[in-house]
Amino acid sequence: MKSGFRILAAVTALLLVQGFYEAMWVAPTERTMGEVQRIFYYHVPSAWTAFLLFFVNLVASIIYLVRKNPKADAVALVSAEVGVVFCTVVLVTGPIWARPVWGIWWTWDIRLTTTLVLWLIYVSYLVLRRFSDSAQTPKLAAVLAIFGALDVPLVYFSIWFFRTQHPQPVIGGGGSIDPRMLHVLLINWLAFSCFAFLVCWARYGVEILQREVDEIEALESLRGVAR
């Protein structure tokens, strides 16, 4: 397990360095937006990684509701935590990109608004998990996670069906992208996905350990009361 983690960490580090190098110096400069467009190689992979983590959260939440599997609940919690981090990166890098291109930091564009709603739903999920001690908390959180996951396709397909200020999707939509840019984009997405999995792996181990400690403490408390 430890050797596998180290190997993944080394591969992730190499991918992140390679992705950064290609995003800054190999990818061609976009004709109209100039150098600021290079944030695209972090903004888009962060969004895709967040969507992937929220999908994992959805699957784990459904498994928990069906089988009451505590490990599935732990996976759901961990994937939501890391997913919120990547979604936060999306919401931060978006305005940084938009300011010199659109002339404004924020607009209530359909994709921006639905992304903000998505972030708020999953932040609410984490607040519920953090501050509620009820036995029903995991079940309520799983239901909230399923509700939040419904917003993911709305975020992705919003610019397909609505006229927005946001650019068209570069893959599977009406937009287009230079093959060299697509190559760099995919490298960074792979790097971000590996990094997300690495963090989830470490965080999952901590979460399982914490639950074991809590269970032992609860048993010790019951024994103390019984005495």
pLDDT in tens, 80-95: 999 999 999 999 999 9
Give the C-alpha distances (Å, rounded to integers) separating 144 from 75, 77, 149: 15, 12, 9
pLDDT at 124: 97
Q: Which of 125, 40, 119 is nearest to 78 (CA)?
A: 125
List, for residues 103-141, the tens digit of each pLDDT value.
Answer: 888 888 888 899 999 999 999 999 999 998 888 999 999
Any idea what the Cα angle at residue 139 is, between residues 136 and 140, rounded to 5°?
85
Structurally, how many domains does the chain consist of?
1
Residue of 221 and 174 predicted with greater confidence:
221
Q: Of 107, 80, 84, 79, which Cα lies nearest the Cα of 94?
A: 107
Mean pLDDT lowest for which of 13-17, 40-44, 162-166, 178-182?
162-166
Residue 193 banded pLDDT, cuts 50, 70, 90: very high
Residue 113 lies in a domain: yes
pTM: 0.92
212 in a domain, yes or no? yes
Q: Which domain holds residue 182?
A: 2-30+41-226
Confidence class of residue 223 from pLDDT cuts 50, 70 and 90? confident
Q: Does a structural domain hold residue 73?
A: yes
Helices (H), the chain: 2-21, 40-67, 70-102, 110-131, 137-149, 151-161, 179-226
Measured in Å, how far apart are the chain's first and last C-alpha atoms? 41
DSSP 165: S
Taking each helix axis as running N to C, give the angle between helix 70-102 and helix 110-131, from 0 to 180 degrees, rounded to the nearest 10: 150
> Cβ neighbours of residue 216 under 8 Å, at least 6 residues apart?
none
In a domain, 61, yes or no: yes
- Averaged pLDDT for residues 213-220: 85
Residue 57 CA: distances (Å) to CA of 39, 74, 101, 120, 122: 27, 10, 34, 15, 10
Angle of helix 179-226 relative to helix 70-102, nearest 10 degrees, comes to 140
pLDDT band (50, 70, 90) for residue 165? low
For residues 175 and 74, the model is more confident at 74
**Mean pLDDT rounded to a whole number for the chain:** 90
Asked, for residue 36, whether it belongs to a domain, the answer is no
Residue 35 lies in a domain: no
Does 25 or 162 have the greater pLDDT score?
25
Q: Kindly state whether residue 158 falls inside one of the protein's structural domains.
A: yes
pLDDT tens per residue, range 6-45: 999 999 999 999 999 999 999 999 888 889 889 999 999 9
